[in-house]
Structure 1
Amino acid sequence: METMKLTDLNFDCLENILEYLELVDLLNAADSCKRLNKAAELVFDRKHGKKTVSFGEMQISTLRLVKYKFGDIHVNDLKTGLQLLRCLGRVIHKICFEQLIFEESIQLEIDRKLATYVNAYCAEYLKEGDFQRNGVLEYFDKPFPKLRGIHVLECKFTEINRIKRLFPNLESLMCSHYEDVSFYNTNATHFPRLKSLTFFELGYDPISDVRHEQNLRNEMVSEFLKLNPQLKELHVSSFALADSYLTIDLIRSEVDNLQNIESLYLDLKPITVHDDIDNIIHMKRVKTFITSLRHYNNEWPTCSLPFSFEKLEKFDVSPPKQIEFLPNFFEDFFNFIDKFPKITDLSISSYENSSAMDWSRLTRSLPLLVTISIHISFSTDEAIDFMAKFPLLRKFNFMLSDLDELEYLCQRLGKKWRGRELWKRRRFVQLKRIV
């Protein structure tokens, strides 16, 4: 009697069998023959296709160092990493090279091998990339035609042309870097499909000529915006000690090139807000405006924002935690939102004192609110009274003074509302209308 081999089974049976294997065993099966490789690809794509494959600090080890964290796959040994890319690269859609505190020479060589395998086995299939380690892009020579979004840490404008060549169909670009004057010493370029652009500034060298760097920065960003007027989203944030990328003056000077922007996020500091606030910046298509107000060098920002929007629907503002230093914050806040009564989504973050907020005025200013998110503590009765002021409300995120009362609060609201915890440590909850 002839013995049946595993590979004689049909694909449905093979998939059902491989479904029970851990990732390392699934890799070994995929590495054994073409038929099992195909079945393993189907299983991996179904179970892990939406997850990010993340490479941390890699080790050359006989141990298989694989773990799951926040739903993603984290690989920390070179053998598993290379095997995963070689055997299942066609069904890996998201890859991350995690940022490392120290990058030793052996780690750089490991990165070179990993990047070479990514380029060889994933280039035609990868959709998202997060490259937080220096030099990874240098090892790529084959383009990634399906990749739509990338994040590059310490990305320099000198790499922009390389990025365009490697990722010709890029739709979302996030650049993070530590301040470096060489960042600006090149020409900007046009990305025909680019819709979303994010700049994160992480720091700067206090010894360098900050004014000189700021001028170079403004020139390069200005040129980039001129060449990419099709942008729909612009996100500018700075953790640096100096001024952020885009000052109000720079936005004002390039406003004609920003008229397609629908979502605008600005990390504003006093120096960017105080300049010529009476000269209004008009942006006709912005629907979402998110701003974070930061203090710098003992100066405090203001909410007197010199913007005018025709279609604003969502406003998200994060005042500094030391809001007591902003005596005019709420007056400025209301003066701003009074101009946009059609706002339906409001968020106020990093603020916990409800006594200074004029809720009656908020009701009059924004009668169409559907979603409200505020970092303010409410008791059960206060939450019910607050929600009654907004008849169109469908989602309310807030801090509940006692988490144990969430179920009781939902009972009082009736079957139309459901509640859940969003952030237990801060007692942050969400109430959502379901009918």
Structure 2
Amino acid sequence: MDNRNEAADRKRQPEGANPPANKRSKTSETVSADVQRASNKTAQQPTKIHYTRLRRRMDEEEEEKLAKLGPDPNLCTTKLTDVNVDCLEHIFKNLRLIDLLNVADSNKQLKPAADLVFASRYGKQWIFIHSRYKSILIERNMCPTTVQIPRSFRLKLLRCFGHLITKLDITHDKHMDAYVNEYCADSLVEIKFQRCKASTLDDLRKPFTQVRTLCFDSCKLGSKLSELDKWFPEVRRLEFNHQNESDCNETAVHLPKLRHLSLFLPADEKNHLNKKYFEELLRLNPNIRTLDIGGHFDAKYLQNVSKYLQRLESLKFSSIQHLSDIGNGTVRFPNVKRLHLWGTALDHSLTNFISQHKKLTKLTFSSIGHCEEGALLKITSPALVEVDFGNFHFPSDEVASFVAECPSLKKLTVAFGNENDYEAFQKWLGNEWREIKKYSYYHICRVTIER
């Protein structure tokens, strides 16, 4: 009977009041902590909701008050894009090129001011983008200097500022030719290709309408070389420097505005632009006024081309083969006024060649050494205005006789064998001439005097 009553009491007892001995049971302290946390959570929940609603209502009321009062006059709400172009230009002048490039590439509204800064700072400078350089070079004061902009930015530079670049010197690089043609075709005035591949010209899609000076230096030129008049219709100065190659039998073209031509004639004509191509180019362009010819050629080649260049006014050439044939009267440029000779000896043959050109006003030598006795007096002319004998040195009495026989002479550069010869020459000159430059080395005294 007692056993049945104990079982009934256990059934009526709440679960967990007397847990079995084999199960983990909560202590009285744990139960009290749980109850306290639950009560705190229940008490905080309505307070948090009430605070959120109150804060939202206060914010709304504050916004309504501000809207009624209007904008605060002391609060500046002007954005950078609201500033006029002149002020932005003044601000952007302090930026480096790479920062200026990032500004132009990031916002269309800021780009006009960035364009003005780039145009004033770099618009008339030579920009060099070469594959062998890690940075882009920009010419300053006739000297290329490194600008702090990585070469990886070259395409972005052309895309953002290509329409402002006027002078560009590039080597062939992937995508470079297409970018130059796309973004610089209407702005470039001078362009120089170095070590470019045949595809440089073959990939052109539109002409360079403003290019006046075009230079190829050690390039491989493709079939479009025969279409230069189409792709460079305004070219006035054309230069082929060093060994330019072509795998095609190119046809020379007539360039109606061409006035200056610079040629380099190779010794080995295999795969190079050969002498026949250049001779044909001269024949088709008789309006050339200045000719600079170097490389490997002889007096006979000059004789062949001279008949096409009767209007030539300026001639420059380096040492040639069979120089003795140049003074026999068969090589003549009747209208040449400026003559520059490089690496040639002032001997009897050359003095005969010079004396045949009576319209010479400027004569320049880039050579060094002694001359034949009396050679200086053979080239006197009443038309000469400026003469630079380079490092050729003469006796003082011979120089004095030369000056006396050239009444129009205004400027003379000449070398003397020693200081005593120059001092004797100075006494002869008197006060009519003045010394503007003097340079002494070893026993040579090189001076420039001006009337």
Q: Aligned residue for 2:204?
A: 140
- Counterpart of 2:293, as a letter, is V
Q: Aligned residue for 1:283?
A: 333
Q: From 42, 64, 80, give the equivalent of 2:116.
A: 42
Q: Contact (CA 8 Å) 2:410, 2:450: kept in 1 or not?
A: no
1:248 and 2:313 correspond: no
Q: Aligned residue for 2:350?
A: 303
Q: By how many angstroms is 1:120 displaced?
A: 1.0
- Counterpart of 1:196, as a letter, is H
Q: Aligned residue for 1:417?
A: none
User: 1:219/1:278 Cα in 2 relative to 1: closer, same or farther (>3 Å)?
Assistant: same
Q: Aligned residue for 2:167?
A: 94
1:315 and 2:366 correspond: no
Q: What is the percent sequence identity of the aligned residues?
A: 26
1:192 and 2:259 correspond: no
d(CA) in 1 for partners of 2:187, 2:403: 50
| Unaligned ranges ≥5, structure 1 | 99-107, 403-425
- Counterpart of 1:347, as a letter, is D
Q: Contact (CA 8 Å) 1:345, 1:372: kept in 2 or not?
A: yes
Q: Aligned residue for 2:288?
A: 231
User: 1:113/1:218 Cα in 2 relative to 1: closer, same or farther (>3 Å)?
Assistant: closer
Q: How big is the alpha-carbon RMSD for the aligned residues of Structure 1 and Structure 2?
A: 3.7
Q: By how many angstroms is 1:127 displaced?
A: 0.4
User: 1:311/1:294 Cα in 2 relative to 1: closer, same or farther (>3 Å)?
Assistant: closer
Q: Aligned residue for 1:346?
A: 387
Q: Aligned residue for 2:155?
A: 82
Q: Aligned residue for 1:165?
A: 230
Q: By how many angstroms is 1:350 displaced?
A: 3.9
Q: Contact (CA 8 Å) 1:354, 1:376: kept in 2 or not?
A: yes
Provide, for residues 344-368 of structure 1, a one-character-per-residue CA deviation record: whole Å limited to 9, x for no partner.
Answer: 11011244x4558822222123232
Provide, for residues 331-388 of structure 1, a one-character-per-residue CA deviation record: whole Å limited to 9, x for no partner.
Answer: 33431x22x221011011244x455882222212323221223456886994795497
Q: What is the DSSP-based 3-state SS (H/G/I as helix, E as strand, rest coil) of the residue aligned with 2:261? A: strand
Aligned residues: 368
Q: Aligned residue for 2:174?
A: 112
Q: From 238, 263, 268, give the equivalent of 2:319.
A: 268
Q: What is the DSSP-based 3-state SS (H/G/I as helix, E as strand, rest coil) of the residue aligned with 1:303? A: helix
Q: By how many angstroms is 1:186 displaced?
A: 2.7
Which runs of structure 2 are paired with 1:176-191 in the superposition (5 Å)?
176-178=241-243, 185-191=249-255
Q: What is the DSSP-based 3-state SS (H/G/I as helix, E as strand, rest coil) of the residue aligned with 1:367? A: coil
Q: By how many angstroms is 1:112 displaced?
A: 2.7
Q: Contact (CA 8 Å) 2:202, 2:222: kept in 1 or not?
A: no
d(CA) in 2 for partners of 1:140, 1:179: 19
Bigger Cα displacement from structure 2, 220-229 vs 274-283 = 274-283
User: 1:391/1:148 Cα in 2 relative to 1: closer, same or farther (>3 Å)?
Assistant: farther
Q: What is the DSSP-based 3-state SS (H/G/I as helix, E as strand, rest coil) of the residue aligned with 1:96? A: strand
- Counterpart of 1:187, as a letter, is T
Bigger Cα displacement from structure 2, 17-26 vs 219-228 = 219-228
Q: Contact (CA 8 Å) 1:380, 1:400: kept in 2 or not?
A: no
Q: From 331, 342, 347, give the equivalent of 1:292.
A: 342
Q: Contact (CA 8 Å) 1:378, 1:401: kept in 2 or not?
A: no
Q: Aligned residue for 1:371?
A: 411
d(CA) in 1 for partners of 2:166, 2:334: 36
User: 1:154/1:69 Cα in 2 relative to 1: closer, same or farther (>3 Å)?
Assistant: closer
d(CA) in 2 for partners of 1:30, 1:384: 65
d(CA) in 1 for partners of 2:109, 2:303: 60
- Counterpart of 2:102, as a letter, is N
d(CA) in 1 for partners of 2:192, 2:430: 41
User: 1:52/1:184 Cα in 2 relative to 1: closer, same or farther (>3 Å)?
Assistant: same
Provide, for residues 57-92 of structure 1, a one-character-per-residue CA deviation record: whole Å limited to 9, x for no partner.
Answer: 357x8xxx3455554465774432112111111111
d(CA) in 1 for partners of 2:164, 2:187: 7
Q: Aligned residue for 2:12?
A: none
User: 1:141/1:310 Cα in 2 relative to 1: closer, same or farther (>3 Å)?
Assistant: farther
Q: Contact (CA 8 Å) 1:269, 1:301: kept in 2 or not?
A: no
Q: Contact (CA 8 Å) 1:370, 1:395: kept in 2 or not?
A: no
Provide, for residues 283-335 of structure 1, a one-character-per-residue CA deviation record: whole Å limited to 9, x for no partner.
Answer: 3321101112348xxxx99533435324211001233x4x35xx52x533431
Q: Aligned residue for 2:101?
A: 27
Which runs of structure 2 are paired with 1:193-232 in the superposition (5 Å)?
193-201=257-265, 204-205=267-268, 217-232=274-289
Q: What is the DSSP-based 3-state SS (H/G/I as helix, E as strand, rest coil) of the residue aligned with 1:275? A: helix
d(CA) in 2 for partners of 1:374, 1:130: 35
For normalisation by structure 2, the TM-score amounts to 0.70
Q: From 181, 186, 192, give the equivalent of 1:130.
A: 192
d(CA) in 1 for partners of 2:421, 2:162: 55
For normalisation by structure 1, the TM-score amounts to 0.73
Q: What is the DSSP-based 3-state SS (H/G/I as helix, E as strand, rest coil) of the residue aligned with 1:358? A: helix
Q: From 254, 259, 264, give the equivalent of 2:310.
A: 259
- Counterpart of 1:229, as a letter, is P
